[in-house]
Amino acid sequence: MSIARFAAPAPSDGIAFVGGQYVPLAEACIAITDRGFVRSDATYDVVHVWKGRFFRLSDHIERFHASMAGLRMSLPYSRKEIADILHECVRRSGLRDAYVQMTCTRGVPPLGSRDPRECENQFSAFAQRFVWIANEQQRREGLSMIVSSHQRIPPEAIDPRIKNFHWLDLTMGIFEAYDRGALVAVLPDRDGNVTEGAGFNVFIVKNGVLATPDHGVFEGMTRRTVIELAEELQQPVEVRPVSTAELRAANEIFLTSTAGGVMPVTTLDGKTVGDGQPGPLTRRLHDFYWQRHDELLLSTPIDYAI
C-alpha cells in the first residue's frame, strides 16, 4: 500500500508568528479555549506590502495599539518589536506583495472563570500573498454592488473604529450580494444612511463633491489616504452622513480597502452608476493612491537579505 506524501508548505504560502515562534502559516494555531476564538474577543489590524515595501506601517501599528486600549488589552511588545515581527514574517516568506495581519486575542481564562481580567492577552501575526477584494477585470471595469437589507451593527453596541471580528452582519450581506448577482454589499444603518461593507469603506461623487460616511464605520487606512489625497488635489471632500438615496443618485461610487486600494463601482442594485464606466475622479485617485506607495514618507522597505 502506498503512503500519501504531502509537500511541506513553501515559505511563500505564508509565515506566521504564534507563541513567540515563526511557523508556516498552515501550521499556525491558537488555543481553542482562547476568548478570541470562543467569544470574538479580539482586535486586529492589516497592513499591506507592495513591491517590497510596507505602506503606512507605523500608522497601522498605532491604530492597533489604540484598538487594544479600547478593549482594555495590552501586550509585552513595543511598537518597534511588533514592526520587527511583521518585517520578519514578510522576510521569511519572501513575498514582495503581501497581506500582513497582526492580532491580539484576550487569551485563555483560568478554568471556571468568566473574568476577562484574568486572561493573558496573546499576540499573533502572519504574512501571506496579497489579498484582493475583486479580480483585475472587476477592478478595471467596475464592481457590482447592492445596498443590503441587513443593517450594520450600531456603533452604540460595538465601536466600529476598533477593528473586530464581529462580521456576521457583513457576512449576511455578502450572501445577499451573491444571491442578487452582485459582488459586494454595503450595509445601511437604522436611519437609512450608508455605513460600510465587508472590509471596505464607501465614497460617492456628486456634482464634483466627494463624500464618505462619518458614522458607524471603521476608519480605514485607505479611506484616510484618499481623504488626504483629495485635499492635496484641492478636491472638495465631505465626511458626513451619506443617505442610501444619495448613494443611488451618485455620479461616481468607489470603495477603498487595504485589499484593493481604490475600486470603482459601476453597478448598484442592478442599475448603472453614471455612464457605466469608472469615473474621472475615481481614476485619478486610484492612480494617485498607487503612486503614493513609492514615496519614502509613507512606505518602509523590507530587507530580505537579513
Quote the pLDDT of residue 295.
84
Q: Name which of 117, 122, 95 is nearest 107 in CA terms.
A: 122
Helix H or strand E encompassing 201: strand 201-206
* Ranges of the chain with pLDDT below 50: 1
Cα-Cα end-to-end distance for the chain: 44
Which three three-digit cell numbers place residue 252?
461616481
- By annotation, the residues acting in catalysis are 163
Q: Is 105 helix (H, G, I), strand (E, B) or coil?
A: strand
Q: Name which of 187, 195, 130 is nearest 161 in CA terms.
A: 195
Quote the pLDDT of residue 156.
94
Are 88 and 96 in contact by the 8 Å Cβ rule? The answer is no
Quote the pLDDT of residue 112.
92
Quote the pLDDT of residue 3.
54
Taken in order of first residue, the domains within the chain and their CATH numbers are: 11-129 (3.30.470.10), 136-292 (3.20.10.10)
Q: Is 117 helix (H, G, I), strand (E, B) or coil?
A: helix
Quote the pLDDT of residue 206.
96
Quote the pLDDT of residue 294.
86
Quote the pLDDT of residue 303.
95
The DSSP bridge partners found for residue 144 are 267
C-alpha to C-alpha distance for 41 and 35, rounded to whole angstroms: 5
Q: Helix 79-93 vs helix 57-70: angle between axes, to the nearest 10 degrees?
A: 120
Task: Give the burial string for 81-95 (b: 16+ CB within 10 Å, else e).
Answer: ebbebbbbbbbbbeb
Quote the pLDDT of residue 32.
96
What's the pTM?
Answer: 0.94
C-alpha to C-alpha distance for 167 and 263, rounded to whole angstroms: 21
